[in-house]
Amino acid sequence: LMLIIPADLSLYNEFRLWKDEPTMDRTCPFLDKIYQEDIFPCLTFSKSELASAVLEAVENNTLSIEPVGLQPIRFVKASAVECGGPKKCALTGQSKSCKHRIKLGDSSNYYYISPFCRYRITSVCNFFTYIRYIQQGLVKQQDVDQMFWEVMQLRKEMSLAKLGYFKEEL
């Protein structure tokens, strides 16, 4: 077994403390650092009001993403409002082909998003899903070091997404 010492020892120590009493409070040192370095930059879009609503939905686990065009027209509620469109991203305002749309919480509004924005959102969602699993005691097969390396892998995904790298098929 090879011992790998984390490059960011202070984050490692903050994670160990967090893991002993896991919280979703963004002001705890471990989460605060990840919010500042990864989450906020990943979810910063030119449409800042909508971007804030996206972050809130991600934190509350109430954001849904679905492919565009799979919904039979007759089932679309008349009250549903679609923002952006198949050719315009609601988060950036740019003309992009949007193959997915998001819905925030109980809202009946759908927002079309580009693949770039989708990857940024899903990378943050993946991080939140994993730390929620730890908080809920669902990660049992891994020791604290393995958990930390998984967190680092998820941070790497957020960094790649933030830089504009995304897998077209995601």
Distance between CA atoms of residues 64 and 66, nearest Å? 7
Residue 170 covered by a domain: no
pLDDT one-digit tens code per residue, 108-128:
889 999 999 999 999 999 999
Q: Model confidence over 81-103: pLDDT tens digits? A: 556 667 889 999 998 889 999 99
Number of separate domains in the chain = 1
Question: Does residue 43 contact residue 58 with C-beta atoms inside 8 Å?
Answer: yes
pLDDT of residue 9: 87
Domain assignment of residue 152, yes or no: yes
10 domain residue, yes or no: no
Q: Which residues of 145-157 are buried (b: 16+ CB within 10 A; e: fewer)?
A: eebbebbbebbeb
Query: What count of Cα atoms within 13 Å lies in the side-chain half-sphere of residue 147?
Result: 26
Residue 82 domain-assigned (yes or no): yes
Q: Give the three-class secondary structure for 94.
A: coil
Among the residue ranges 39-48, 105-114, 154-163, the one predicted with the least confidence is 105-114
Q: Is residue 123 part of a domain?
A: yes
* φ/ψ (deg, to 5) at 123: -65, -40
**What pLDDT is stored for residue 8 in this prediction?**
80
Does 1 map to a domain?
A: no
Containing domain of residue 145, as a range? 26-163
In a domain, 6, yes or no: no
